[in-house]
Structure 1
Amino acid sequence: MEEGLALHHIGVRFGGLTALDDVSLRVPPGRVVGVIGPNGAGKTTLFNVICGFVAPETGSITLDGRPLRPRPHRLTRLGIARTLQGTGLFAGLTVLENVMAGASHTARAGFLPALLGLPRSDRDEARLRRHALDVLDELGVAAHADAAPGTLPFAVRQRVALARAFAARPRLLLLDEPAGGLGGEDIAELAQLIRQLPQRAADPCAVLLVEHHMDLVMSVCDELVVLDFGRVIAAGTPDEVRDDPAVTDAYLGASVDEAAA
Protein backbone atom coordinates (compact mmCIF):
# COMPACT_ATOMS: atom_id res chain seq x y z
CA MET A 1 0.00 0.00 0.00
CA GLU A 2 1.23 3.47 -0.84
CA GLU A 3 2.16 5.27 2.38
CA GLY A 4 1.95 8.96 3.10
CA LEU A 5 0.08 11.79 1.45
CA ALA A 6 -0.26 11.89 -2.33
CA LEU A 7 -1.86 14.37 -4.74
CA HIS A 8 -2.90 12.99 -8.11
CA HIS A 9 -3.38 15.32 -11.11
CA ILE A 10 -4.91 18.15 -9.06
CA GLY A 11 -6.55 20.99 -10.99
CA VAL A 12 -7.97 24.23 -9.54
CA ARG A 13 -9.47 27.19 -11.37
CA PHE A 14 -10.72 30.50 -10.00
CA GLY A 15 -12.97 31.90 -12.71
CA GLY A 16 -10.77 32.14 -15.78
CA LEU A 17 -7.53 31.78 -13.81
CA THR A 18 -5.84 28.38 -13.60
CA ALA A 19 -4.27 28.14 -10.15
CA LEU A 20 -3.16 24.49 -10.34
CA ASP A 21 -2.91 22.38 -13.49
CA ASP A 22 -2.36 18.61 -13.31
CA VAL A 23 -0.26 18.79 -10.13
CA SER A 24 0.94 15.53 -8.61
CA LEU A 25 3.28 15.02 -5.67
CA ARG A 26 3.89 12.66 -2.79
CA VAL A 27 5.06 13.15 0.79
CA PRO A 28 6.22 9.76 2.12
CA PRO A 29 6.82 9.13 5.82
CA GLY A 30 10.26 10.18 7.01
CA ARG A 31 10.82 12.73 4.26
CA VAL A 32 10.97 16.51 3.93
CA VAL A 33 9.44 17.65 0.64
CA GLY A 34 9.69 21.27 -0.47
CA VAL A 35 7.43 23.20 -2.83
CA ILE A 36 9.02 26.25 -4.44
CA GLY A 37 8.25 28.62 -7.27
CA PRO A 38 7.87 32.31 -8.10
CA ASN A 39 5.12 34.42 -6.55
CA GLY A 40 1.75 33.37 -7.94
CA ALA A 41 2.96 29.89 -8.87
CA GLY A 42 0.17 28.19 -6.88
CA LYS A 43 1.99 27.19 -3.69
CA THR A 44 -0.59 28.58 -1.26
CA THR A 45 -3.45 27.13 -3.31
CA LEU A 46 -1.74 23.75 -3.08
CA PHE A 47 -1.64 23.97 0.71
CA ASN A 48 -5.28 25.08 0.79
CA VAL A 49 -6.29 22.04 -1.27
CA ILE A 50 -4.52 19.71 1.16
CA CYS A 51 -6.18 21.43 4.11
CA GLY A 52 -9.66 21.35 2.58
CA PHE A 53 -10.07 25.11 2.17
CA VAL A 54 -10.15 24.74 -1.62
CA ALA A 55 -11.84 21.83 -3.41
CA PRO A 56 -10.03 20.70 -6.56
CA GLU A 57 -12.03 20.54 -9.78
CA THR A 58 -9.98 17.62 -11.05
CA GLY A 59 -7.74 15.00 -9.51
CA SER A 60 -7.74 13.31 -6.12
CA ILE A 61 -5.90 13.08 -2.81
CA THR A 62 -4.96 9.89 -0.99
CA LEU A 63 -3.58 9.18 2.47
CA ASP A 64 -1.88 5.80 2.77
CA GLY A 65 -3.47 4.85 -0.53
CA ARG A 66 -7.02 5.59 0.62
CA PRO A 67 -9.13 8.43 -0.80
CA LEU A 68 -8.99 11.60 1.27
CA ARG A 69 -11.43 14.50 1.20
CA PRO A 70 -9.83 16.86 3.72
CA ARG A 71 -11.90 19.09 5.97
CA PRO A 72 -10.14 21.86 7.93
CA HIS A 73 -11.70 20.90 11.28
CA ARG A 74 -10.73 17.23 10.86
CA LEU A 75 -7.10 17.63 9.84
CA THR A 76 -5.58 17.09 13.28
CA ARG A 77 -7.53 13.84 13.72
CA LEU A 78 -5.94 12.65 10.47
CA GLY A 79 -2.51 13.50 11.83
CA ILE A 80 -2.00 16.63 9.72
CA ALA A 81 -0.97 19.97 11.23
CA ARG A 82 -0.25 23.29 9.51
CA THR A 83 1.52 26.49 10.44
CA LEU A 84 0.39 29.74 8.87
CA GLN A 85 2.28 32.60 7.25
CA GLY A 86 3.06 34.94 10.12
CA THR A 87 2.24 32.98 13.25
CA GLY A 88 -1.56 32.79 13.54
CA LEU A 89 -1.42 32.69 17.34
CA PHE A 90 -4.43 33.60 19.47
CA ALA A 91 -3.70 37.02 20.95
CA GLY A 92 -6.11 36.53 23.87
CA LEU A 93 -4.41 33.33 25.08
CA THR A 94 -1.07 32.82 26.77
CA VAL A 95 1.72 30.94 25.01
CA LEU A 96 0.90 27.81 27.02
CA GLU A 97 -2.81 28.07 26.24
CA ASN A 98 -2.04 28.47 22.53
CA VAL A 99 -0.03 25.26 22.56
CA MET A 100 -2.68 23.43 24.59
CA ALA A 101 -5.23 24.45 21.96
CA GLY A 102 -3.13 22.62 19.37
CA ALA A 103 -3.66 19.35 21.24
CA SER A 104 -7.28 19.90 22.23
CA HIS A 105 -8.50 17.21 19.81
CA THR A 106 -6.87 14.61 22.08
CA ALA A 107 -8.95 15.68 25.09
CA ARG A 108 -10.96 12.76 26.38
CA ALA A 109 -13.41 14.57 28.61
CA GLY A 110 -15.43 16.31 25.94
CA PHE A 111 -17.25 19.63 26.06
CA LEU A 112 -19.86 19.00 28.77
CA PRO A 113 -17.44 17.86 31.53
CA ALA A 114 -15.21 20.83 30.74
CA LEU A 115 -18.17 23.20 30.92
CA LEU A 116 -19.26 21.79 34.29
CA GLY A 117 -15.73 21.61 35.68
CA LEU A 118 -15.95 17.90 36.44
CA PRO A 119 -12.87 15.98 37.74
CA ARG A 120 -12.37 14.16 34.45
CA SER A 121 -12.06 17.52 32.72
CA ASP A 122 -9.51 18.66 35.30
CA ARG A 123 -7.41 15.55 34.65
CA ASP A 124 -7.61 16.16 30.92
CA GLU A 125 -6.48 19.77 31.30
CA ALA A 126 -3.56 18.74 33.51
CA ARG A 127 -2.46 16.17 30.93
CA LEU A 128 -2.67 18.70 28.09
CA ARG A 129 -0.77 21.24 30.16
CA ARG A 130 2.08 18.81 30.84
CA HIS A 131 2.27 17.87 27.16
CA ALA A 132 2.25 21.52 26.06
CA LEU A 133 5.02 22.40 28.50
CA ASP A 134 7.10 19.46 27.26
CA VAL A 135 6.75 20.68 23.66
CA LEU A 136 7.61 24.27 24.61
CA ASP A 137 10.65 22.98 26.47
CA GLU A 138 11.73 20.94 23.43
CA LEU A 139 11.66 24.13 21.35
CA GLY A 140 13.45 26.17 23.99
CA VAL A 141 10.62 28.59 24.75
CA ALA A 142 9.12 27.12 27.95
CA ALA A 143 10.24 30.23 29.87
CA HIS A 144 7.60 32.19 27.94
CA ALA A 145 4.70 29.88 28.81
CA ASP A 146 2.73 32.53 30.72
CA ALA A 147 3.45 35.40 28.30
CA ALA A 148 1.04 36.93 25.81
CA PRO A 149 2.24 36.18 22.27
CA GLY A 150 2.14 39.84 21.28
CA THR A 151 4.81 40.72 23.85
CA LEU A 152 7.39 38.34 22.37
CA PRO A 153 9.96 38.78 19.57
CA PHE A 154 8.85 37.43 16.22
CA ALA A 155 11.36 34.55 16.23
CA VAL A 156 10.00 33.35 19.58
CA ARG A 157 6.41 33.59 18.29
CA GLN A 158 7.42 31.43 15.34
CA ARG A 159 8.68 28.76 17.72
CA VAL A 160 5.43 28.96 19.69
CA ALA A 161 3.48 28.46 16.45
CA LEU A 162 5.60 25.39 15.72
CA ALA A 163 5.02 24.14 19.26
CA ARG A 164 1.26 24.45 18.78
CA ALA A 165 1.53 22.34 15.62
CA PHE A 166 3.80 19.77 17.34
CA ALA A 167 1.36 19.48 20.24
CA ALA A 168 -1.11 17.79 17.89
CA ARG A 169 1.42 14.95 17.40
CA PRO A 170 1.10 15.15 13.60
CA ARG A 171 2.35 12.52 11.19
CA LEU A 172 2.57 15.25 8.54
CA LEU A 173 3.47 18.88 9.20
CA LEU A 174 2.69 21.55 6.59
CA LEU A 175 5.04 24.51 6.99
CA ASP A 176 3.94 27.66 5.15
CA GLU A 177 6.94 29.99 4.83
CA PRO A 178 8.22 29.42 8.39
CA ALA A 179 11.39 31.46 7.77
CA GLY A 180 9.52 34.64 6.85
CA GLY A 181 10.74 37.53 9.00
CA LEU A 182 13.60 35.56 10.58
CA GLY A 183 17.27 36.52 10.62
CA GLY A 184 20.15 34.32 9.51
CA GLU A 185 20.84 32.76 12.91
CA ASP A 186 17.17 31.98 13.50
CA ILE A 187 16.87 30.42 10.02
CA ALA A 188 19.86 28.17 10.75
CA GLU A 189 18.20 26.99 13.97
CA LEU A 190 14.93 26.44 12.10
CA ALA A 191 16.74 24.34 9.49
CA GLN A 192 18.23 22.14 12.19
CA LEU A 193 14.80 21.68 13.75
CA ILE A 194 13.12 20.74 10.45
CA ARG A 195 15.81 18.20 9.61
CA GLN A 196 15.21 16.46 12.93
CA LEU A 197 11.42 16.15 12.62
CA PRO A 198 11.23 12.93 10.57
CA GLN A 199 13.69 11.22 12.95
CA ARG A 200 12.21 12.32 16.27
CA ALA A 201 12.18 9.49 18.79
CA ALA A 202 8.70 10.54 19.87
CA ASP A 203 6.11 11.54 17.27
CA PRO A 204 8.25 11.64 14.10
CA CYS A 205 6.57 13.42 11.21
CA ALA A 206 7.07 14.05 7.53
CA VAL A 207 7.18 17.67 6.36
CA LEU A 208 5.77 19.51 3.37
CA LEU A 209 7.51 22.88 3.19
CA VAL A 210 6.62 25.99 1.18
CA GLU A 211 9.41 28.52 1.47
CA HIS A 212 11.15 31.38 -0.40
CA HIS A 213 14.47 31.10 1.43
CA MET A 214 16.39 28.81 -0.90
CA ASP A 215 19.29 28.26 1.50
CA LEU A 216 16.81 26.75 3.95
CA VAL A 217 15.00 24.72 1.29
CA MET A 218 18.18 23.32 -0.23
CA SER A 219 19.59 22.32 3.15
CA VAL A 220 16.56 20.55 4.65
CA CYS A 221 14.59 18.99 1.77
CA ASP A 222 14.99 15.45 0.49
CA GLU A 223 12.92 16.28 -2.58
CA LEU A 224 11.66 19.45 -4.27
CA VAL A 225 8.67 20.18 -6.46
CA VAL A 226 8.81 23.39 -8.50
CA LEU A 227 5.61 25.14 -9.54
CA ASP A 228 5.25 27.83 -12.18
CA PHE A 229 1.88 29.19 -13.28
CA GLY A 230 0.21 26.29 -11.48
CA ARG A 231 2.14 23.52 -13.21
CA VAL A 232 4.95 21.25 -12.00
CA ILE A 233 7.97 22.19 -14.09
CA ALA A 234 10.58 20.19 -12.19
CA ALA A 235 10.84 17.62 -9.40
CA GLY A 236 13.76 15.81 -7.83
CA THR A 237 16.54 16.23 -5.32
CA PRO A 238 17.72 19.76 -4.50
CA ASP A 239 20.81 19.28 -6.68
CA GLU A 240 18.71 18.06 -9.62
CA VAL A 241 16.32 20.98 -9.32
CA ARG A 242 19.10 23.55 -8.98
CA ASP A 243 20.57 22.46 -12.31
CA ASP A 244 17.26 22.25 -14.20
CA PRO A 245 17.05 24.90 -16.98
CA ALA A 246 13.27 25.13 -16.60
CA VAL A 247 13.73 26.24 -12.99
CA THR A 248 16.25 28.88 -13.98
CA ASP A 249 13.83 30.24 -16.60
CA ALA A 250 10.99 30.34 -14.08
CA TYR A 251 13.09 32.57 -11.85
CA LEU A 252 13.47 35.14 -14.62
CA GLY A 253 16.92 34.10 -15.78
CA ALA A 254 18.54 34.15 -12.34
CA SER A 255 19.93 31.11 -10.64
CA VAL A 256 17.69 29.61 -7.95
CA ASP A 257 20.06 30.80 -5.25
CA GLU A 258 20.22 34.34 -6.65
CA ALA A 259 16.44 34.56 -6.93
CA ALA A 260 16.12 33.96 -3.20
CA ALA A 261 18.62 36.64 -2.26
Structure 2
Amino acid sequence: MEQGLALHHIGVRFGGLTALDDVSLRVPPGRVVGVIGPNGAGKTTLFNVICGFITPDSGSLTLDGRPLRPRPHRLTRLGIARTLQGTGLFAGLTVLENVMAGATHTARAGFLPALLGLPRSDRDEERLRREALDVLDGLGIAGHADAAPGTLPFAVRQRVALARALAARPRLLLLDEPAGGLGAEDIAELAELIRRLPRRETDPCAVLLVEHHMDLVMAVCDEIVVLDFGRVIAAGTPDDVRDDPAVTDAYLGAEVDEAAA
Protein backbone atom coordinates (compact mmCIF):
# COMPACT_ATOMS: atom_id res chain seq x y z
CA MET A 1 0.00 0.00 0.00
CA GLU A 2 1.22 3.51 -0.83
CA GLN A 3 2.40 5.16 2.39
CA GLY A 4 2.17 8.83 3.28
CA LEU A 5 0.32 11.71 1.67
CA ALA A 6 -0.31 11.77 -2.08
CA LEU A 7 -2.01 14.28 -4.38
CA HIS A 8 -3.32 12.90 -7.66
CA HIS A 9 -3.93 15.23 -10.62
CA ILE A 10 -5.25 18.10 -8.48
CA GLY A 11 -6.98 20.95 -10.28
CA VAL A 12 -8.28 24.18 -8.72
CA ARG A 13 -9.98 27.03 -10.55
CA PHE A 14 -11.18 30.38 -9.28
CA GLY A 15 -13.59 31.61 -11.93
CA GLY A 16 -11.53 31.88 -15.09
CA LEU A 17 -8.20 31.57 -13.24
CA THR A 18 -6.51 28.18 -13.01
CA ALA A 19 -4.61 28.07 -9.72
CA LEU A 20 -3.54 24.41 -9.91
CA ASP A 21 -3.49 22.32 -13.06
CA ASP A 22 -3.00 18.53 -12.90
CA VAL A 23 -0.68 18.67 -9.86
CA SER A 24 0.56 15.36 -8.43
CA LEU A 25 3.10 14.82 -5.64
CA ARG A 26 3.91 12.44 -2.80
CA VAL A 27 5.24 12.96 0.72
CA PRO A 28 6.38 9.53 1.94
CA PRO A 29 7.26 8.84 5.58
CA GLY A 30 10.80 9.83 6.52
CA ARG A 31 11.19 12.42 3.77
CA VAL A 32 11.35 16.19 3.40
CA VAL A 33 9.61 17.40 0.24
CA GLY A 34 9.86 21.01 -0.87
CA VAL A 35 7.50 23.02 -3.07
CA ILE A 36 8.99 26.08 -4.76
CA GLY A 37 7.99 28.49 -7.49
CA PRO A 38 7.58 32.19 -8.19
CA ASN A 39 4.85 34.28 -6.59
CA GLY A 40 1.45 33.20 -7.90
CA ALA A 41 2.67 29.71 -8.82
CA GLY A 42 0.02 28.01 -6.67
CA LYS A 43 2.01 27.08 -3.57
CA THR A 44 -0.41 28.51 -1.02
CA THR A 45 -3.37 27.05 -2.89
CA LEU A 46 -1.69 23.65 -2.72
CA PHE A 47 -1.30 23.93 1.05
CA ASN A 48 -4.91 25.04 1.41
CA VAL A 49 -6.09 21.98 -0.54
CA ILE A 50 -4.16 19.68 1.78
CA CYS A 51 -5.57 21.47 4.85
CA GLY A 52 -9.15 21.35 3.59
CA PHE A 53 -9.63 25.10 3.17
CA ILE A 54 -10.08 24.58 -0.59
CA THR A 55 -11.89 21.67 -2.23
CA PRO A 56 -10.24 20.81 -5.56
CA ASP A 57 -12.31 20.88 -8.75
CA SER A 58 -10.58 17.74 -9.99
CA GLY A 59 -8.23 15.06 -8.72
CA SER A 60 -8.00 13.40 -5.31
CA LEU A 61 -5.91 13.08 -2.15
CA THR A 62 -4.93 9.90 -0.36
CA LEU A 63 -3.31 9.12 2.98
CA ASP A 64 -1.67 5.70 3.14
CA GLY A 65 -3.55 4.80 -0.02
CA ARG A 66 -6.96 5.60 1.42
CA PRO A 67 -9.11 8.51 0.21
CA LEU A 68 -8.50 11.73 2.13
CA ARG A 69 -11.05 14.52 2.39
CA PRO A 70 -9.33 16.90 4.79
CA ARG A 71 -11.18 19.29 7.08
CA PRO A 72 -9.25 22.05 8.90
CA HIS A 73 -10.59 21.15 12.36
CA ARG A 74 -9.75 17.46 11.91
CA LEU A 75 -6.21 17.74 10.61
CA THR A 76 -4.44 16.99 13.89
CA ARG A 77 -6.52 13.84 14.37
CA LEU A 78 -5.23 12.69 10.97
CA GLY A 79 -1.67 13.31 12.14
CA ILE A 80 -1.17 16.49 10.11
CA ALA A 81 0.04 19.79 11.60
CA ARG A 82 0.75 23.13 9.92
CA THR A 83 2.68 26.26 10.76
CA LEU A 84 1.52 29.60 9.38
CA GLN A 85 3.33 32.41 7.59
CA GLY A 86 4.48 34.63 10.42
CA THR A 87 3.94 32.79 13.69
CA GLY A 88 0.19 32.83 14.43
CA LEU A 89 0.81 32.62 18.18
CA PHE A 90 -1.78 33.59 20.79
CA ALA A 91 -0.61 36.88 22.30
CA GLY A 92 -2.60 36.39 25.52
CA LEU A 93 -0.97 33.04 26.34
CA THR A 94 2.52 32.23 27.54
CA VAL A 95 4.93 30.27 25.34
CA LEU A 96 4.14 27.10 27.30
CA GLU A 97 0.39 27.63 27.01
CA ASN A 98 0.72 28.20 23.26
CA VAL A 99 2.50 24.89 22.87
CA MET A 100 0.00 23.10 25.12
CA ALA A 101 -2.77 24.41 22.85
CA GLY A 102 -1.22 22.49 19.97
CA ALA A 103 -1.79 19.18 21.75
CA THR A 104 -5.28 19.65 23.19
CA HIS A 105 -6.71 17.08 20.75
CA THR A 106 -4.89 14.40 22.79
CA ALA A 107 -6.66 15.38 26.02
CA ARG A 108 -8.77 12.55 27.39
CA ALA A 109 -11.00 14.52 29.74
CA GLY A 110 -13.22 16.25 27.23
CA PHE A 111 -14.96 19.60 27.50
CA LEU A 112 -17.26 19.08 30.51
CA PRO A 113 -14.61 17.85 33.00
CA ALA A 114 -12.32 20.71 31.95
CA LEU A 115 -15.14 23.22 32.41
CA LEU A 116 -15.91 21.91 35.90
CA GLY A 117 -12.26 21.56 36.90
CA LEU A 118 -12.61 17.86 37.72
CA PRO A 119 -9.54 15.75 38.68
CA ARG A 120 -9.39 14.00 35.33
CA SER A 121 -9.05 17.39 33.63
CA ASP A 122 -6.26 18.33 36.05
CA ARG A 123 -4.36 15.16 35.15
CA ASP A 124 -4.72 15.95 31.45
CA GLU A 125 -3.42 19.48 31.95
CA GLU A 126 -0.38 18.25 33.87
CA ARG A 127 0.40 15.71 31.15
CA LEU A 128 0.06 18.33 28.41
CA ARG A 129 2.32 20.65 30.40
CA ARG A 130 5.06 18.02 30.71
CA GLU A 131 4.86 17.11 27.04
CA ALA A 132 4.92 20.76 25.97
CA LEU A 133 8.01 21.40 28.10
CA ASP A 134 9.70 18.39 26.50
CA VAL A 135 9.02 19.80 23.03
CA LEU A 136 10.31 23.24 24.01
CA ASP A 137 13.42 21.64 25.51
CA GLY A 138 14.01 19.68 22.31
CA LEU A 139 14.03 22.95 20.36
CA GLY A 140 16.29 24.68 22.88
CA ILE A 141 13.74 27.24 24.09
CA ALA A 142 12.41 25.78 27.36
CA GLY A 143 13.89 28.78 29.17
CA HIS A 144 11.23 30.96 27.54
CA ALA A 145 8.28 28.81 28.71
CA ASP A 146 6.75 31.50 30.95
CA ALA A 147 7.36 34.42 28.59
CA ALA A 148 4.76 36.21 26.49
CA PRO A 149 5.47 35.55 22.80
CA GLY A 150 5.45 39.25 21.95
CA THR A 151 8.48 39.87 24.21
CA LEU A 152 10.71 37.43 22.33
CA PRO A 153 12.90 37.85 19.24
CA PHE A 154 11.22 36.80 16.00
CA ALA A 155 13.51 33.78 15.53
CA VAL A 156 12.48 32.45 18.95
CA ARG A 157 8.80 33.03 18.17
CA GLN A 158 9.28 30.97 15.00
CA ARG A 159 10.59 28.11 17.13
CA VAL A 160 7.61 28.45 19.47
CA ALA A 161 5.28 28.12 16.47
CA LEU A 162 7.17 25.03 15.38
CA ALA A 163 6.97 23.62 18.91
CA ARG A 164 3.20 24.14 18.96
CA ALA A 165 2.86 22.17 15.72
CA LEU A 166 5.15 19.39 16.97
CA ALA A 167 3.21 19.13 20.24
CA ALA A 168 0.41 17.54 18.21
CA ARG A 169 2.79 14.66 17.44
CA PRO A 170 2.13 14.86 13.69
CA ARG A 171 3.15 12.24 11.18
CA LEU A 172 3.24 15.01 8.56
CA LEU A 173 4.28 18.60 9.22
CA LEU A 174 3.39 21.35 6.73
CA LEU A 175 5.83 24.27 6.95
CA ASP A 176 4.66 27.45 5.26
CA GLU A 177 7.68 29.73 4.63
CA PRO A 178 9.28 29.11 8.05
CA ALA A 179 12.43 31.08 7.13
CA GLY A 180 10.56 34.33 6.46
CA GLY A 181 12.15 37.16 8.42
CA LEU A 182 15.11 35.10 9.65
CA GLY A 183 18.79 35.92 9.27
CA ALA A 184 21.41 33.59 7.81
CA GLU A 185 22.45 32.11 11.17
CA ASP A 186 18.86 31.44 12.21
CA ILE A 187 18.11 29.84 8.83
CA ALA A 188 21.08 27.50 9.27
CA GLU A 189 19.75 26.44 12.68
CA LEU A 190 16.25 25.99 11.23
CA ALA A 191 17.70 23.77 8.49
CA GLU A 192 19.28 21.51 11.08
CA LEU A 193 15.96 21.26 12.95
CA ILE A 194 14.03 20.35 9.79
CA ARG A 195 16.57 17.72 8.74
CA ARG A 196 16.20 16.01 12.12
CA LEU A 197 12.39 15.79 12.15
CA PRO A 198 11.90 12.72 9.91
CA ARG A 199 14.74 10.87 11.66
CA ARG A 200 13.86 11.42 15.30
CA GLU A 201 13.67 8.31 17.45
CA THR A 202 10.47 9.61 19.07
CA ASP A 203 7.57 10.92 16.95
CA PRO A 204 9.38 11.23 13.61
CA CYS A 205 7.42 13.15 10.98
CA ALA A 206 7.65 13.76 7.26
CA VAL A 207 7.80 17.38 6.15
CA LEU A 208 6.20 19.28 3.27
CA LEU A 209 7.97 22.63 2.97
CA VAL A 210 6.92 25.72 1.00
CA GLU A 211 9.76 28.21 1.02
CA HIS A 212 11.37 31.06 -0.96
CA HIS A 213 14.84 30.71 0.56
CA MET A 214 16.57 28.44 -1.94
CA ASP A 215 19.55 27.74 0.32
CA LEU A 216 17.23 26.26 2.94
CA VAL A 217 15.25 24.23 0.40
CA MET A 218 18.38 22.80 -1.21
CA ALA A 219 19.89 21.97 2.18
CA VAL A 220 16.98 20.07 3.73
CA CYS A 221 14.84 18.55 0.98
CA ASP A 222 15.05 14.99 -0.33
CA GLU A 223 12.82 15.95 -3.24
CA ILE A 224 11.65 19.26 -4.68
CA VAL A 225 8.54 19.99 -6.73
CA VAL A 226 8.58 23.17 -8.80
CA LEU A 227 5.33 24.96 -9.67
CA ASP A 228 4.83 27.65 -12.30
CA PHE A 229 1.41 29.03 -13.20
CA GLY A 230 -0.18 26.16 -11.26
CA ARG A 231 1.61 23.36 -13.10
CA VAL A 232 4.48 21.09 -12.08
CA ILE A 233 7.38 21.99 -14.37
CA ALA A 234 10.06 19.94 -12.58
CA ALA A 235 10.44 17.42 -9.77
CA GLY A 236 13.40 15.52 -8.41
CA THR A 237 16.39 15.77 -6.10
CA PRO A 238 17.88 19.18 -5.30
CA ASP A 239 20.64 18.53 -7.84
CA ASP A 240 18.10 17.61 -10.53
CA VAL A 241 16.06 20.74 -9.91
CA ARG A 242 19.06 23.05 -9.64
CA ASP A 243 20.26 21.98 -13.10
CA ASP A 244 16.84 22.06 -14.80
CA PRO A 245 16.67 24.89 -17.38
CA ALA A 246 12.90 25.23 -16.89
CA VAL A 247 13.47 25.99 -13.22
CA THR A 248 16.14 28.55 -13.99
CA ASP A 249 13.81 30.30 -16.42
CA ALA A 250 10.68 30.19 -14.27
CA TYR A 251 11.98 30.64 -10.74
CA LEU A 252 15.64 31.45 -10.39
CA GLY A 253 15.43 33.76 -13.38
CA ALA A 254 12.51 35.57 -11.76
CA GLU A 255 14.68 36.22 -8.68
CA VAL A 256 17.40 37.69 -10.87
CA ASP A 257 14.86 39.96 -12.59
CA GLU A 258 13.52 41.18 -9.23
CA ALA A 259 17.02 41.87 -7.94
CA ALA A 260 17.84 43.91 -11.02
CA ALA A 261 14.60 45.96 -10.83
Give TM-score scaled by structure 2 length. 0.97
* Percent of aligned pairs with the same amino acid: 91
* 1:98-177 correspondence runs (5 A): 98-177=98-177
Distance 1:188 1:257 in 2: 26
Contact kept, 8 Å, 2:38 with 2:254, in 1: the verdict is: no
Deviation at 1:260, TM superposition (A): 13
Contact kept, 8 Å, 2:171 with 2:203, in 1: the verdict is: yes
Equivalent position of 2:49 in the other structure: 49
Contact kept, 8 Å, 1:247 with 1:256, in 2: the verdict is: no
SS at match of 1:251: helix
Superposed CA deviations along residues 115-158 of structure 1, whole A, max 9, x for unmatched, are 00000000000000000001001111111111111111100000
Counterparts in 2 of 1:121 and 1:260: CA distance versus 1, 3 Å: farther
Contact kept, 8 Å, 1:19 with 1:41, in 2: the verdict is: yes
Distance 1:218 1:258 in 2: 21
Structure 2 residues without counterparts, runs of 5 or longer: none
Contact kept, 8 Å, 1:171 with 1:206, in 2: the verdict is: yes
Deviation at 1:15, TM superposition (A): 1.1
Give TM-score scaled by structure 1 length. 0.97
Distance 1:260 1:3 in 2: 44
SS at match of 2:137: helix
Contact kept, 8 Å, 1:248 with 1:256, in 2: the verdict is: no
Deviation at 1:92, TM superposition (A): 1.0
Equivalent position of 2:12 in the other structure: 12
Counterparts in 2 of 1:256 and 1:72: CA distance versus 1, 3 Å: farther
Deviation at 1:252, TM superposition (A): 6.5
Contact kept, 8 Å, 1:214 with 1:256, in 2: the verdict is: no
Counterparts in 2 of 1:259 and 1:108: CA distance versus 1, 3 Å: farther
Superposed CA deviations along residues 62-120 of structure 1, whole A, max 9, x for unmatched, are 00000000000000000000000000001111111100000000000000000000000
Counterparts in 2 of 1:112 and 1:87: CA distance versus 1, 3 Å: same
SS at match of 1:255: helix
SS at match of 1:77: helix
SS at match of 2:174: strand
Deviation at 1:251, TM superposition (A): 2.5
How many residues in Structure 1 have an aligned counterpart in Structure 2? 261
Superposed CA deviations along residues 146-171 of structure 1, whole A, max 9, x for unmatched, are 11111111000000000000000000
Deviation at 1:232, TM superposition (A): 0.2
Counterparts in 2 of 1:183 and 1:120: CA distance versus 1, 3 Å: same
Contact kept, 8 Å, 1:176 with 1:210, in 2: the verdict is: yes
Deviation at 1:257, TM superposition (A): 13
Counterparts in 2 of 1:182 and 1:65: CA distance versus 1, 3 Å: same
SS at match of 2:225: strand
SS at match of 2:252: coil
Distance 1:187 1:213 in 2: 9
Counterparts in 2 of 1:69 and 1:260: CA distance versus 1, 3 Å: farther
Contact kept, 8 Å, 1:248 with 1:255, in 2: the verdict is: no
Distance 1:236 1:208 in 2: 14
Contact kept, 8 Å, 1:83 with 1:162, in 2: the verdict is: yes
